[in-house]
Chains A and B, each alone.
Chain A
Amino acid sequence: MTAPDPRHDTLERRMPRADPAAATALERTWRDPPGIIGWFAAINHKTISKRFMVTTILFFLAGGVLALLIRLQLAQPNAGIIGPDRYNQIFTMHGSTMMFLFAVPVMQAVATYLIPLMIGARSLAFPRLNAYAYWIFTMGGIMLYAAFFVDAGPDAGWFAYVPLSGPQYSPGKRVDFWAQMITFTELSGLMEAVVIITTILKLRAPGMSLNRMPLYVWTMLVTSFMVLFAMPSVMLASTALITDRLVGTHFYNPGEGGDALLWQHLFWFFGHPEVYLIFIPPLGFISSIVATFARRPVVGYPAMVLALVTTAFLAFGLWVHHMFATNLPELGKTFFTAASLIIAVPSAVQIFCWIATLGSGRLHVKTPLLFVLAFFFILVLGGLTGLMLASVSLDTQLHDTFFVVAHLHYVLLGGAVFPLFGAFYYWFPKFTGRLLNERLGRWNFWLFFIGFNVTFFPMHLLGLWGMPRRVYTYPAEMGWGDMNLVASIGAATIAASVLLFLVNVARSLRVGAVAGPDPWGAGTLEWSVASPPPMGNFEVIPVVHGRYPLWQPQPEPTHVEGMSNEWREVLVTTVADAEPDHRLWMPSSSVWPFLSALATTVLFVGSIFTPWAVVWAAVPVAVATTIWFWPRRAVVRERVRSELRP
């Protein structure tokens, strides 16, 4: 049964379809090579992105299992199920997995699938770099879990405060694996940000000026700029930690002029923007889903964009609110209280605009919308507890207690994971050609919503009642047992809902309703192509005249002509107004990004054990990246014949 596809007519009637020969040639030009070598050589952005999404979801599941172990141990006072050493590794791995291996990477993974399709491009700007970033990320995650499985997992917390994580109090390799995982994942994140920014600024279809870009694309542009300025901070911090541990530097050693708070400043200067890296892309999911399911554009486009940019800037001015319990000057702390309160304003504007959109629209209530509606309950509650924590005085009671655990899960799941699930339900038909089952989706949603609140609401009380964080057990006479048991039952409910999601995915891949190009009647460009899209994305590149091209009439010119179907070619346009500028050839599939990532992994892992690895392992990295870059004579000779100089 095919889902109805009503809005598609408008665009289609005015735009010619590519003739079958051209479409076939395009498919052949852009497809991934076959075979096992071909699997490692694939660089099509959709191929890499699907692998990336699957990998991040696997890490999400791993992090979830770790959470279940935590809740198992904490369900009762003095439970002897998991001892302190294993428990400290488990909560460190849970936080590190969710923050570094899931929350940010999944956003980049989804973006690298959707962005070219939303902007009318056939490719990302640097497809091989995109592939390298995926492999580096995956290898880093595997390294961390390999260490965990041999009882060498990090155990100093996902935030690894010094001096605990330093050479004296965390001997052995555990924290080194953590610090190097940072290097892997932040390198990947930074490369992806460069890819995303360049793609968005240079490869938009003609006519898609910046103020016609989908709001989701704006969120990824803003997020990616933030990445450029935030991730270097944790890279520097973890590099200094590695050198403290491995070669005896004294950045964090107060005995030799170092400072324990230097770590905290560097880490949180990254750490606070990091949560906005996680929060801002889902704001784009929400805008996309609200528009489609309210059958109207989101209210206040300029205000929405301004709100995103403001949030991004403000996010860099909050980091000291993680350090309110330290002996920093009190007056300085108050500045950060004010900043932490102000940042609520742009988010409030967005929330009000969405509510206005829903209220003035006509609602098609399906699972994607349900997950988005949960945001208005869960994230808002989490944001309000965030305002509580912004006060220095209140924070001195609430910091490092289960109140913060409640807060962070309300904002991260309410603000990111629920919209992410909505996004999966929304774009799954585009990725796979089939719709997820609606009934299973509702069960998935309600189990998740109820389970989430049952798990995390009691934690507010536990924090107020005196329960600190990161404790492997607690005494019976504290009276915390009941609420902990409730939380653990909630966790089991969440697990059931996630299981339902996996069942829904597995089932729908086989027997789900076939989705046409546009099962939801949406307005943006990704819904104008087949589901799943052809390898070259657009058989005919559109010319864009409005923010919701599929909902608006299309004056002429309607499409682009003259792009090659024999070579991988993209159309480069100008930054502000997307006027056509030049054509650019994209690289062919290649195993060298994969091999370079392998060589880089050897360098990073080797340098955990000896600093000289940086020197000798640099050689294979240099060789692999050089071959990656080196052009093939036969290809160039052929291609140069159709070269046109500026």
Chain B
Amino acid sequence: MNAAMSSNEPAAAMQDALRAAGTQAQHIGALWNGTLVLCTLVFVAIVVATIVAVWRAPRADAATRPDTTSLEGPEHRIWRRVGWATGAAVAGLLVLLAGDVFTSRALARLPLRDAVNIELVGHQWWWEARYRDGDPSHEFTTANELTIPVGRPVIVTLRANDVIHSLWVPSLSGKKDLIPGRTATLRLRADRAGTYRGQCAEFCGLEHALMALLVHAVPPADYEAWAARQRQPASEPADPVARHGRDVFLGTSCVMCHTVSGTPAQARTGPDLTHLASRQTIAAGMFPNNRGYLAGWIGDPQALKPGVNMPANTLPPDDLQALLAYLETLR
């Protein structure tokens, strides 16, 4: 389940605005480069001017007679220089404005043909993702980890369930806020395969710091295969231990919040677990999805992510192991 074990993907998940893997981030990166150059030049000019002015002026003390000639008449030479410098400043600002306008246009011109449509709902402190389709039977729900096809545009519709969140996957695109009562849209496209990490970028309460998101960009054929699997309901577990685990799942508080399609568990308060085992992480991108962490999470989520809305679940060890076995079948 570790990303390093897959031969197609790089080792670490990238969360870096300076390393663009998608067209939107690339456009913004180009603007950044140009702006950085211009602003550095201006900064150096002003600092040098200040240093030169201070260096060259003769020294004085409190007794030095002040020079009040400027109070008697205008200082044309100085005013002309200030004028030229101001003109240069205005020119620089116009360049920046032009850069911004051009970049905005480029971002708005992302071709949207054949787009994948994802509806993202922000919760305290996890991401609900519903893949939309023209054919309703092709729709499915997952959480916290998105898989998208390389080279195809993705239209992400953003809604919030409770407070304001913000979706930010810097290697792919700029951020957009998820605001309760409003619907926003973010359009992006991954141009390189890889796993990209995002984080909630609007302070949303206690565990804002631990609300991450993984985006796996895969070749289109792999995406179709993944999506096809996601559309399937959970299959009947073959192993008797796993079957017992399913009974544990259906018999405890898990069903109060979680959905596993194909079973009576249809609650939507917490993340959809139908394909939990296909995800690399748990707790919104924070911990590896393996038995050890899962056990700790189920037993006492507060220890890993204090304040999270999931209660502790004390299970007898056999039941816990069975439950974990069952969860591993949810691929």
A contacts B: CB pair < 8 Å: yes
- Taking beta carbons and an 8 Å cutoff, which residues of A are in contact with B? 3-4, 6-7, 83-85, 88, 156-157, 161, 163-164, 168-169, 254-255, 258-261, 294-297, 299-300, 303, 325-327, 330, 334, 337-338, 341-342, 344-345, 348-349, 351-353, 355-356, 358-365, 373, 376-377, 380-381, 384-385, 387-388, 390-401, 463-466, 468-475, 477-478, 518-521, 523, 546-548, 551-552
B299 close to A (CB within 8 Å)? no
Output the nearest chain B residue to A478 by Cβ-Cβ distance: B15
Residue interface mask B27-60, A partner, CB < 8 A = 1: 1100110011001001100110110111011111
Contact of B179 among A258, A261, A364 (CB under 8 A): A261
From residue A524, how far is it (CB to closest CB) to chain B in Å? 12
The answer to whether B59 and A380 have CB atoms under 8 Å apart is no
The answer to whether A396 and B174 have CB atoms under 8 Å apart is yes
Contact of A169 among B60, B70, B81, B162 (CB under 8 A): B162
The answer to whether B307 and A391 have CB atoms under 8 Å apart is no
From residue A305, how far is it (CB to closest CB) to chain B in Å? 14
Output the nearest chain B residue to A326 by Cβ-Cβ distance: B177
Which of the 9-residue segments B85-93, B135-143, B237-245 touches chain A?
Answer: B85-93
User: Inside 8 A of A349's CB, which chain B residues have their CB?
Assistant: 82, 86
From residue B306, how far is it (CB to closest CB) to chain A in Å? 6
**Known A-B contacts A300-B82, A352-B85, A359-B56; A547 and B162 likewise in contact (beta carbons under 8 Å):** no
Interface residues on B, range: 35 or more
Output the nearest chain B residue to A469 by Cβ-Cβ distance: B203
**Distance between Cα atoms of A387 and B41 in the complex (Å):** 14
Which of the 9-residue segments B163-171, B263-271, B312-320 touches chain A?
Answer: B163-171
B103 close to A (CB within 8 Å)? yes
**Known A-B contacts A260-B181, A299-B78; A466 and B170 likewise in contact (beta carbons under 8 Å):** yes
Which of the 9-residue segments B109-117, B145-153, B194-202, B224-232 touches chain A?
Answer: B194-202
Can you name 17 A-B pairs with beta carbons within 8 Å?
A161-B163, A296-B67, A325-B202, A327-B182, A348-B85, A352-B86, A362-B57, A362-B59, A362-B60, A364-B62, A390-B100, A393-B103, A398-B17, A470-B203, A470-B208, A478-B15, A547-B71
The answer to whether A84 and B164 have CB atoms under 8 Å apart is no
**Known A-B contacts A348-B86, A388-B35; A296 and B205 likewise in contact (beta carbons under 8 Å):** no
**Distance between Cα atoms of A338 and B197 in the complex (Å):** 32
The answer to whether A376 and B50 have CB atoms under 8 Å apart is yes
Output the nearest chain A residue to B20 by Cβ-Cβ distance: A397
Output the nearest chain A residue to B158 by Cβ-Cβ distance: A327
- Taking beta carbons and an 8 Å cutoff, which residues of B are in contact with A? 12, 15-18, 25, 27-28, 31-32, 35-36, 39, 42-43, 46-47, 49-50, 52-54, 56-68, 70-71, 75, 78-79, 81-82, 85-86, 89-90, 93, 96-97, 99-101, 103-104, 107-108, 124, 158, 162-164, 166, 168, 170, 173-177, 179-185, 197, 199-210, 286, 306-307
From residue A368, how far is it (CB to closest CB) to chain B in Å? 12
**Distance between Cα atoms of A170 and B27 in the complex (Å):** 39
The answer to whether B17 and A397 have CB atoms under 8 Å apart is yes
The answer to whether B104 and A330 have CB atoms under 8 Å apart is yes
**Known A-B contacts A325-B177, A393-B100, A393-B174; A465 and B18 likewise in contact (beta carbons under 8 Å):** yes
**Distance between Cα atoms of A163 and B205 in the complex (Å):** 10
The answer to whether B93 and A344 have CB atoms under 8 Å apart is yes
Given contact pairs A163-B180, A169-B162, A295-B66, a sample of 4 additional A-B residue pairs in the complex whose CB atoms are under 8 Å apart:
A365-B59, A465-B15, A466-B16, A466-B17
From residue A90, how far is it (CB to closest CB) to chain B in Å? 13
User: Inside 8 A of B207's CB, which chain A residues have their CB?
Assistant: 84
User: Inside 8 A of B68's CB, which chain A residues have their CB?
Assistant: 296-297, 548, 551-552
From residue B322, how far is it (CB to closest CB) to chain A in Å? 31
The answer to whether A394 and B31 have CB atoms under 8 Å apart is yes
User: Inside 8 A of B18's CB, which chain A residues have their CB?
Assistant: 464-465
**Distance between Cα atoms of A592 and B187 in the complex (Å):** 61
The answer to whether A466 and B31 have CB atoms under 8 Å apart is no
From residue A405, how far is it (CB to closest CB) to chain B in Å? 13
**Known A-B contacts A254-B180, A327-B183, A364-B60; A393 and B104 likewise in contact (beta carbons under 8 Å):** yes
**Known A-B contacts A393-B104, A521-B64, A548-B71; A356 and B57 likewise in contact (beta carbons under 8 Å):** no
